[in-house]
Amino acid sequence: MTILNRVAGARPGTSGRLSRLLIIELVLLALFALMPLLLGSIWSEDDSFFWIVFTTKVLILSLFGLSFDLAWGYAGLMSFGQALFFGGAGYVVAVMSRDLGISSIFIVLPVAIVVGLVLAMLLAAFLLSGSRTPSIIFIAFGTLTGSYAAERLARAWYYLGGQNGVSVTKALTIGDMPLYEGVGFYYLAFGLLVVVYIGCRFLVRSQFGLVLAGIREREERITFLGYKVQLTRAIVFILSGAIAGLGGGLYAFHEGFVWPALMGPIYSTQAMLYVMLGGVSTLIGPVIGVTAIEFATIILIDYLRDFWIIILGVLLLLVIMFRRTGLVGVLVSERERIGSFRWRGANRKSDSRSD
Amino acid sequence: MTKVIKNDRTEGQLTRRSFLQSAMWMSGAVATGLGSWVFPAKWSHAAGPIKVGIATDLTGPIAFGGIPCSRIAKLAIDQINDNGGILGRPLEMYLEDTASNEQIAVGVVRKLVQRNRVDVVLGGITSSMRNAIKDIIVGRGRTLYIYPQLYEGRECTPNLFCTGPTPAQQCDDLIPWLIANGGKRFALPSANYVWPHVLNEYARKSIEDNGGEVVLEEYYPLDQVEYGATVKKIMDEKVDVVFNTVIPPGLGPFIKQLYEGGFLKRGGRLSCVYYDENALNINSPQEMEGLASCLDYFQNIEDPFSAELQAAYQKRHAHKDKVLFSAGSGSTGMYRGVKLWEAAVTEAGAVDRDSVAAALDHAKIANGPGGPSNMVPGTYHCQMNMYIAVAKGGKYEIISKADQVHPKECG
Amino acid sequence: MEGAFQVLFNILSFTSIMVLVVLGLGVIASMMGIFNFAHGEFLLLGGYTAYLFDIWGLPVWLGIAAAPFVVGFVGVVLERTIIHRFYAAPIVAMLGTYAIGLIIRESVRGLISGMYLRVPEPLVGMFSVGDISVSKWRVAVIVITILVVTGSYILLNRTSFGLRVRASLENPELARASGISTSQIYAATFAFGAALAGLAGAMMVPLFSLYADMGLRFLIQGFLAVMLGGIGTFEGPVLGGGVIGAMTAGLPHMVNPILADVLVFVIAIVLVKMKPMGLLAKGRK
């Protein structure tokens, strides 16, 4: 079996046809990779610059959506507070840039990841600890409350700029070279997204991912099998926090501004909107969701601004009621969507197979 | 600046997008896609039109400010165009709606600066909006930015010029007057965000320098509407003057609860430096009796140019929707900003940022709302006339006028 | 002394509103086992109804009286068309009601253009006894809440309708077997919960402002209160609402208002963590 097929989850012994899901992923990968070059040849320099910057934002927000998918789609934790990690990391790097003048990418990004990770760890420790399994409602509430309280605090705390937020006027620097918005930042965001995506993909298709799937399906059985369910979920939740944090750090420098609502419940639930519409539990779903919603918003804004969010709400309701698998579910079969996992046996036996 | 919210029952109609698009003043606006509008140049010139970007809140809670700002900008630009433009070139106005939402604002201002490549951006009303968009304009966009609204000061970013009143301009005459006409014991109930914090620092110093004393200074979350505890403290401490920086939604309830607590009955004096004609609608006249405000313009000041400007604005906008040309909305600073910029471009003979910024640094206009205005070199702020007015029976009475008050910023 | 009395009244009136909100949430959660994430928006609709009556020139008290019926009606419609599908899966219910809440919130936001609006009080002025004066409307809120809560209690425990409701709560299958139409009971319960929220919202807007996001704050506080008080009893939500309401209105008097704001949430969530079944819960009895 080729590596591609193995990653795609095709079972050993099949003819090696690429699954539809993989095709979607590859198409998107190619599109995003080549977009700046394509744009430059079609449109004026000003227009294409604008769209490159816009798409960079989409890529950064995809990290945000991805983090929600990990938490909800894979760990089964309804997290209404992903923005806490995203915005929290954004605030920390913004304040660091304002007060300490730090803008080097080698400090900013790791700090952002760590902030997201630590916040998620604290929240996970609080919510998931204890001998009794917390109900999903409690987790939803706990994360919602965390997000809400963080937003209120940020609004109130003068040091954080209060309601005015914090402006990030420095550009991200790689060594001595500043990285402004544009093609450079685009490929940075793109590269990071690809790395994170592939990492997550491997994780959820591995043995660990198999345990996660088991937890989603039959939690009690998995517990009886000896797996530490809460710990497993916590790990995924913390990972999602780290990814959201990374996104937040990039956002702060790309958009140049962080403000309290970035940590709040409304923004958190925006992630839910992106992911549910795109397709939960698929990893590519969030990317599709973010891209579709953001592009649709900016294009339809002339005609529909007041109504657009209502339409999105209605779409979300329809998805919840009828097709919980979102856009991806429309294109890809259920089995492929869940995918299969690397078998312990396959790792050894495949060496001897000829492909 | 503050978020002064006007409470008008017909508001729902005026800020709806469709109304905007069909409104007379928008006729002539051409949609350029992605939610942008431009008022095209009326004639052509070899070097092309000069592009003026206006980014302000046409929808949302701050629309009461954004709409008059955009209208007065259009009026000013039309007047300039009627006089042959600047340097013989026509002005084109690019209008973007920041929708009282910083996240949206970042996106639309990017359009102005990156896609339309405007030569100057005027706009932003609240300080949070200014903060959100300033880096995109001035830093990444390398474009001039003029901020027209009254605010807390301390904005000393190069290429960012402020044409609205600063704390010094609002307090220097008002505080002594309040002490003389109210008393020495001050309370500073405030909304908890940057503008009140910084304004109160200045106000406190001014109060103490003039022999007064601050007995209470408190900050409340923006949506707090229960002020029982505050009113009790104000009455217990025998406060003479309430120097208020609570903003809506808390403003209406606070003033009302203060009135119900007997503050005015006891002879207390209210003061609020963002109160303009719009704010008069928030509470009933008896709740605001005696309220003192200090602004760069009121509708009934005695200044012929201001009267003409007000009349020209009213003629265009027929006063139907009660969105007023007033100082609290930022529209006075907007007019001032456009005219000062015009003077700068004319002096510089060019439109590039650095030449214009150098000229704008010391630009002067002889006529503006409230009177003339001069930029104080090296400080990015300008002098202007300031008026103290007191609310009586639901209308303002002008008490005093101070000429060309110094902004005392960035010096 | 007089000041303390006034402060007490203010706390009581805010707590009353909180109790109404929480009662509605609690009733829905206990009966159908779902958490109604649109509850805050029912409050919003109640407030909006009062506002509309005011703009149309009708008396505000009429709008406030009408609000529970209007919102209750909306509740019935939503329940019959969408929400009843979610009873089997509480998580889906959570998401679904969230989406409905989003639609309602953004629609109202569009209708009021994102503004902060005021509705005048139906009873203007103060009651004065000696040095003590309290706002008439606040007193009315407290009185109305007491009446409604008492009335609900009587309805639930002393009428045959209440008997049917309690039967459906304890053992739905047996209730159905006994000829009780549980789906009707569910619809009625949802409508009742919505109506309570609508009433709370309408009574609240003369004291606070009407704005599109007001529901969110009450949703979060309401849920914390329900979890604090426990599901399954009548007294639980009332107690929870009382505690949260009192803390929210009372803490700012003792602590810096900004800190008080966050402290309420922190204390509440810690309490819930310590007692996940609620302070008063006996589980589903």
The tokens of A173 are what?
């620097």
Write down the pLDDT at residue B5.
36
CB contact under 8 A, B16 and A156: no
Report which of C41, C53, C73 is spatially closest to residue C200, judged by C-alpha positions: C41
CB contact under 8 A, A78 and C99: no
For residue A223, what are the CA distances in angstroms to A126, A127, A231, A341? 21, 18, 11, 20
pLDDT at B15 over 50: no
Q: Within a domain: residue C113?
A: yes
B11-165+302-378 against B168-295+389-405: fold identical: yes
Write down the pLDDT at residue A337.
60
Report which of A150, A141, A142 is spatially closest to residue A91, judged by C-alpha positions: A150
The tokens of B46 are what?
């070899």
Write down the pLDDT at residue A283.
87
- Please name the residues between 207 and 226 in chain B that touch chain A, using a CB distance below 8 Å: 219, 221-222
Question: What are B189's strand-pairing partners?
Answer: B218
- The values of phi and psi at residue B184, to 5°, are -95, -20
Q: CA-nearest residue of chain A to C98?
A: A317
For residue B397, the one-letter residue type is: E
Report which of C194, C202, C240 is spatially closest to residue C221, judged by C-alpha positions: C240
CB neighbour list of residue C43: distance below 8 Å, 6 or more residues apart: C21, C197, C198, C200, C201, C204, C214, C215, C218
Report which of C144, C122, C120, C109 is spatially closest to residue C215, judged by C-alpha positions: C109
Q: How confident is the model at residue A2 (pLDDT cuts 50, 70, 90)?
A: very low
Determine the distance in angstroms separating the CA of C126 from the nearest CA of chain A, rounded to an integer: 33
CB contact under 8 A, A320 and C90: no
What pLDDT digit, counting tens, does each position of A99-146 carry? 888 888 899 999 999 999 999 999 988 888 766 677 777 888 888 888
Q: How confident is the model at residue C12 (pLDDT cuts 50, 70, 90)?
A: confident
pLDDT at A318 over 80: yes
CB contact A316 to C (< 8 Å): yes
- Residues in chain B with CB shorter than 8 Å from the CB of C253 are 229
pLDDT at B275 over 80: yes
- Residues in chain B with CB shorter than 8 Å from the CB of C257 are 192, 218-221, 224
Q: Which of B31, B193, B219 is nearest residue A164 as measured by Cβ atoms? A: B193
Write down the pLDDT at residue C130.
66
pLDDT at C216 over 90: no
> Which of the 8 DSSP states describes residue B96?
E
Omega cis (within 30) before B249: yes
For residue A100, what are the CA distances in angstroms to A93, A94, A108? 10, 10, 12
**Domain map (residue ranges) of chain B:** 11-165+302-378, 168-295+389-405
| B232, B261 Cβ separation under 8 angstroms | yes
**Among positive and negative, which fits the CA dihedral A204, A208, A210, A216?**
negative
The tokens of C256 are what?
């810096």
CB contact B102 to A (< 8 Å): yes
Determine the distance in angstroms separating the CA of A22 from the nearest CA of chain C, rounded to an integer: 29
- The values of phi and psi at residue A19, to 5°, are -75, 160
CATH number 3.90.226.10 given to B11-165+302-378 = no
- The mean predicted confidence, pLDDT, of chain C is 84
Q: CATH: 1.10.3470, 3.10.450, 3.30.930, 1.10.357. Which one for A3-343?
A: 1.10.3470
Write down the pLDDT at residue B43.
87
Q: Within a domain: residue C279?
A: no
Residues in chain A: 355
A195 vs A10 pLDDT, higher one: A195
CB contact under 8 A, C258 and B7: no
- Around C132, how many Cα atoms within 13 Å sit in the side-chain half-sphere? 13
pLDDT at A343 over 60: no
Q: Where are the alpha helices (DSSP H) in B188-273?
A: 194-209, 228-236, 251-260
What pLDDT digit, counting tens, does each position of B339-392 carry? 999 999 999 999 999 999 999 999 999 999 999 999 999 999 999 999 999 999
- Burial (0-12, 13-18, 19+ Cβ within 10 Å), C7: middle
What pLDDT digit, counting tens, does each position of B289-345 carry? 999 999 999 998 989 999 999 989 888 876 555 667 888 889 999 999 999 999 999
Q: Give the whole-angstrom CA distance, residue B282 versus residue B334.
A: 24
ipTM of this complex prediction, to 2 decimal places: 0.82
Write down the pLDDT at residue A350.
37
CB contact C61 to A (< 8 Å): no
Q: Give the whole-angstrom CA distance, residue B218 versus residue A60.
A: 39
Report which of A271, A248, A265 is spatially closest to residue A87, judged by C-alpha positions: A248
Q: Within a domain: residue C139?
A: yes
Alpha-carbon radius of gyration of chain A:
21
Q: Where are the alpha helices (DSSP H) in A129-182?
A: 136-156
Report which of B55, B54, B66 is spatially closest to residue B3, judged by C-alpha positions: B66
What pLDDT digit, counting tens, does each position of C94-121 carry? 889 989 999 999 899 888 877 777 787 7
pLDDT at B1 over 70: no
For residue B367, the one-letter residue type is: N
The pLDDT of C199-226, averaged and rounded, is: 86
The pLDDT of A309-334, averaged and rounded, is: 81
CB contact B115 to A (< 8 Å): yes
Q: Give the whole-angstrom CA distance, residue A75 versus residue A326.
A: 18
In the three-class reduction of DSSP (H, G, I as helix; E, B as strand; rest coil), residue B299 is classed as coil
B22 vs B308 pLDDT, higher one: B308
Write down the pLDDT at residue A90.
95
Instruction: Looking at mean pLDDT, say which of A219-223, A294-298, B69-73 comes out highest.
Output: B69-73
CB contact A44 to B (< 8 Å): no
Of A327-331, B193-197, C36-40, C265-269, which gets the smallest average pLDDT? Answer: A327-331
In the three-class reduction of DSSP (H, G, I as helix; E, B as strand; rest coil), residue B37 is classed as strand
pLDDT at B151 over 50: yes
- Residues in chain B with CB shorter than 8 Å from the CB of C261 are 221
Q: Give the whole-angstrom CA distance, residue C82 versus residue C67.
A: 22
Of A19-33, A302-316, A339-353, B351-365, which gets the smallest average pLDDT? Answer: A339-353
Of A213-227, B204-218, B390-404, which gets the smallest average pLDDT? Answer: A213-227
**Domain map (residue ranges) of chain A:** 3-343
pLDDT at A55 over 50: yes
Write down the pLDDT at residue B214.
95
Q: Which of B31, B115, B192 is nearest residue A47 as measured by Cβ atoms? A: B115
pLDDT at A270 over 70: yes
CB contact under 8 A, B33 and A302: yes
For residue A127, what are the CA distances in angstroms to B76, C177, C203, C272, C283? 58, 40, 35, 11, 21
Q: Give the whole-angstrom CA distance, residue A86 versus residue A101.
A: 21
For residue B138, what are the CA distances in angstroms to B60, B123, B142, C57, C58? 25, 13, 5, 49, 51
Q: CA-nearest residue of chain B to A181?
A: B140
Write down the pLDDT at residue C122.
82
CB contact under 8 A, A169 and B110: no
Report which of B289, B251, B283 is spatially closest to residue B268, judged by C-alpha positions: B289
| B345, B90 Cβ separation under 8 angstroms | no
- The values of phi and psi at residue C183, to 5°, are -65, -35
Write down the pLDDT at residue C126.
67
pLDDT at C168 over 90: no
Supply the range of the domain harboring residue C182.
Answer: 2-274
Q: How confident is the model at residue A352 (pLDDT cuts 50, 70, 90)?
A: very low
CATH of the domain at C260: 1.10.3470
Superfamily classification of domain B168-295+389-405: Response regulator (3.40.50.2300)
List all chains that touch chain C, counting a touch as 3 or more CB pairs closer than 8 Å: A, B
Write down the pLDDT at residue A222.
77
> Which of the 8 DSSP states describes residue A19?
P
Write down the pLDDT at residue C41.
94
Write down the pLDDT at residue C159.
86
- The mean predicted confidence, pLDDT, of chain B is 87
CB contact under 8 A, C273 and A130: yes
